[in-house]
Amino acid sequence: MKTKLVIFGSGDIAQLAHFYFSTDSDYEVVAFTVDSDYIDETVFCGLPVVPFETINQQYPVDSHHIFIALSYSKLNAVRKEKYLAARHLGYTLASYISSHATVLNEGRIGDNCFILEDNTIQPFVTIGNNVTLWSGNHIGHHSTIQDHTFIASHVVISGGVNIGEQCFIGVNATLRDHITIEAKCVVGAGTLLLSDAEPEGVYIGTATERSRVPSSKLRKL
């Protein structure tokens, strides 16, 4: 029998969580929940949407798990707040780990993690609680990703990297080996990081500018 699951959220990530948990896990999604002030519709993905303030009355903690399906809004602070609130109520926080990911770290993955397809997690990696790994990342051996961090797609994290709490690592970023990314750092899309990152640092690579030559003038394309 599948474990019953309630998903916190009613946006795109919640819809994706519903898809992944429903098609590739041992969970049965039975409802969604959000704060009462944010309930616009009472049905989402064909399931009821109920107030989080009364969730344990309708879906008790002893028979239901919960998953917080939120993004990196306010540098992961909103997801962290709801994660802690669900734990305070006594819920078990579910993790989703894609069957299409390569996971070689002997299960050192916390709760409320969202690990999508084509991630490669090498041996001796440690992943904390409430961590999102979008699709297609490389997490190098002996690296640590601490709680409440969001890693976007196609990020290369080399061996022995330590990423602190509440960080955001953007699409196609590359982190060299044996560096430390302190808490609440933002590493922008396409950034190459070769040394330690200080707390609350923002590291953004230079964006590609438009060429002065229009596409209609290119001779070899």
Q: Phi and psi dihedrals of 217, rounded to 5?
A: -100, -5
Beta bridge partners of 41: none
Q: In whole angstroms, how large is the CA radius of gyration of the chain? A: 19
* Per-residue model confidence as pLDDT tens digits over 104-142: 999 999 999 999 999 999 999 999 999 999 999 999 999
What are the respective helix, strand and coil percentages of the chain, to the nearest 5? 15, 30, 55
Q: Are 117 and 42 in contact (CB under 8 A)?
A: no
How many Å apart are CA 135 and CA 4, to the nearest integer? 25
pLDDT digits (tens, 9 = 90+) for 47-93: 999 999 999 999 999 999 999 999 999 999 999 999 999 999 999 99
Q: pLDDT tens across 12-31, in order?
A: 999 999 999 999 999 999 99
For each of the domains in the chain, give its residue range(s) and CATH number, in order of start.
3-94 (3.40.50.20), 95-201 (2.160.10.10)
Cα→Cα distances 195→27, 65, 138, 154, 173, Å: 41, 40, 18, 20, 13
Q: pLDDT tens digits for 186-218?
A: 999 999 999 999 999 999 988 888 889 898 888
**Above 90 in pLDDT, residue 221?**
no
C-beta of residue 131 within 8 angstroms of C-beta of residue 108? no
**CA dist., res. 173 & res. 160, Å (int):** 16
Q: Is the pLDDT of residue 220 over 90?
A: no
User: pTM of the predicted model, to two decimals?
Assistant: 0.95
